[in-house]
Amino acid sequence: MLPQALTQLTSDELEFQQAIKEFAQGEILPKVHTMDQNAKLDKELIQKLFEMGLMGVENPSEYGGTGSNFFSACLAVEEIAKVDGSVSVFVDVQNTLVTNALLKWANEEQKKLYLPKLAQSWVGAYALSESSSGSDAFALKLKATEQGEHYVLNGHKLWITNAGEAELFIVFANIAPEQGYRGITAFLVERSAPGLSIGKKEDKLGIRASSTAEIIFENCKVHKNQVLGQVGKGYKIAIETLNEGRIGIGAQMLGIAQGAYEHALKYTAEREQFGKSINSYQGVQFQLAQMRTQIEASRLMVYNAARLKDAQKDFIQEAAMAKYFASQVAEKVTSLAIDLYGGNGFTKEYPVEKYWRDAKIGQIYEGTSNMQLQTIAKMEIDRLKA
């Protein structure tokens, strides 16, 4: 059963949320259109994200971070997404994937080396996907060959978010392909590593300012002390980190839907047809009511999953449901927002077309909607058998 008043925030959470809102409105909003046109994040803005502490929300204070929790990271992702989906996923990957994985799997030496950098100036990226391994994540072909005190990586990664800015990559490679997923190992690879290069940058429909690119490994030598977790246990890191990351994507989709809704709500009050504002017509009112209801349901699911994660309770099914539902709602709400704007909504002069473009990716990355449905159904079947 859901706890009562699940969406009610504590005073500290409200203060944090308000600070992010003010930052997003003051620092991000003026740059959104230009970043979208140029398909590139503003460098000065990236620095301000670090200064604001948004690149190390969960990072403990002893490592230079904010020392907050997973729920707060999701709040930040949501609030930023109300203004821009690209900046939101940039912050999301840093917190819910990269920092989260290091906190859980890195040894103390690795934490001391990388967590302060990730809190202060280094961007992180999570390199799992390949051309042959999308939903079938464990079909990856990037090979790691043992060579003395090193592993040598050869192959490619595709669709890697933050690749253009990242200084640290969590890279998944197979040290024993004949063993299947049991050979998958996670490595901490710095951008400066010889043999690592950034390839083609994707020209995307949405979240255009977020860099999505290929990573090429050509005899890339990585020392054995750069293994994250245990050799051959990379599959476990990948599964558990993505389970958590999906809540972050749910928060992003929630924010995108809320942002589009707020614009549409305001526009329907200002736009007049037949002598009165269009929000006085029942047909428009019903659409607004549906949007608001679906957004609130998404918020309940995302917040519940994040709270469960922080409470160290089972959250896998809740995370899958939150991502699935929030991404569906984001596409529906942003599409309706365009409808409510009419012809204006179809132009780049108004903001809602971008929300729609940004929303579509939610049903694809960090596990497609079909993969979320499979997880939900499998857990229900297993529950029935238990």
pLDDT tens-digit series, residues 153-177: 999 999 999 999 999 999 999 999 9
For 125-232, give the CATH class: mainly beta
Residue 3, pLDDT above cutoff 80:
no
pLDDT of residue 254: 98
Q: Which residues pair with 153 in a beta bridge?
A: 144, 220
pLDDT of residue 6: 64
pLDDT tens-digit series, residues 258-272: 999 999 999 999 999
Percent pLDDT > 70 in the chain is: 98
What span, in angstroms and rounded, lies between the C-alpha atoms of 365 and 159? 9
pLDDT tens-digit series, residues 42-84: 999 999 999 999 999 999 999 999 999 999 999 999 999 999 9
Q: How far is CA 282 from CA 189, 288, 289, in A?
A: 57, 10, 10
What beta strand segments (E) does the chain contain?
124-127, 143-147, 150-161, 168-174, 184-190, 196-201, 212-223, 227-228, 272-273, 276-277
The pLDDT of 236-263, averaged and rounded, is 97
- Considering the domain 11-122 in this protein, what is its CATH number? 1.10.540.10
What span, in angstroms and rounded, lies between the C-alpha atoms of 184 and 359? 32
Q: Is 53 left (phi over 0), alpha (psi -120 to 50) or beta?
A: left
Q: How far is CA 210 from CA 41, 88, 357, in A?
A: 7, 9, 13
User: Contact 200/142 with Cβ under 8 angstroms?
Assistant: no
Residue of 58, 130, 353, 366 marked active site: 366
DSSP 283-339: HHHHHHHHHHHHHHHHHHHHHHHHHHHHTT---HHHHHHHHHHHHHHHHHHHHHHHH
Among the four given CATH numbers 3.30.420.40, 2.170.190.11, 3.90.1560.10, 1.20.140.10, the one describing domain 235-385:
1.20.140.10
Please give the mean pLDDT across all residues of the chain: 96
User: Contact 256/355 with Cβ under 8 angstroms?
Assistant: yes
The pLDDT of 172-190, averaged and rounded, is 96
Place of tokens 């449905």: 373
pLDDT of residue 7: 75
Q: Return the number of other C-beta atoms located less than 10 Å from residue 108's C-beta.
A: 7
Domain limits, CATH 1.10.540.10, in the chain: 11-122
User: Contact 265/338 with Cβ under 8 angstroms?
Assistant: no
Q: How far is CA 46 from CA 43, 93, 134, in A?
A: 5, 14, 29
User: Contact 307/301 with Cβ under 8 angstroms?
Assistant: no
pLDDT of residue 136: 83
Residue 366 appears among annotated catalytic residues = yes
User: Contact 64/119 with Cβ under 8 angstroms?
Assistant: yes
Domain limits, CATH 1.20.140.10, in the chain: 235-385
Percent pLDDT > 90 in the chain is: 95
Residue 210, pLDDT above cutoff 90:
yes
Domain limits, CATH 2.40.110.10, in the chain: 125-232
pLDDT tens-digit series, residues 116-165: 999 999 999 999 999 888 788 778 999 999 999 999 999 999 999 999 99
Q: How confident is the model at residue 1 (pLDDT cuts 50, 70, 90)?
A: very low
Residue 246, pLDDT above cutoff 80:
yes
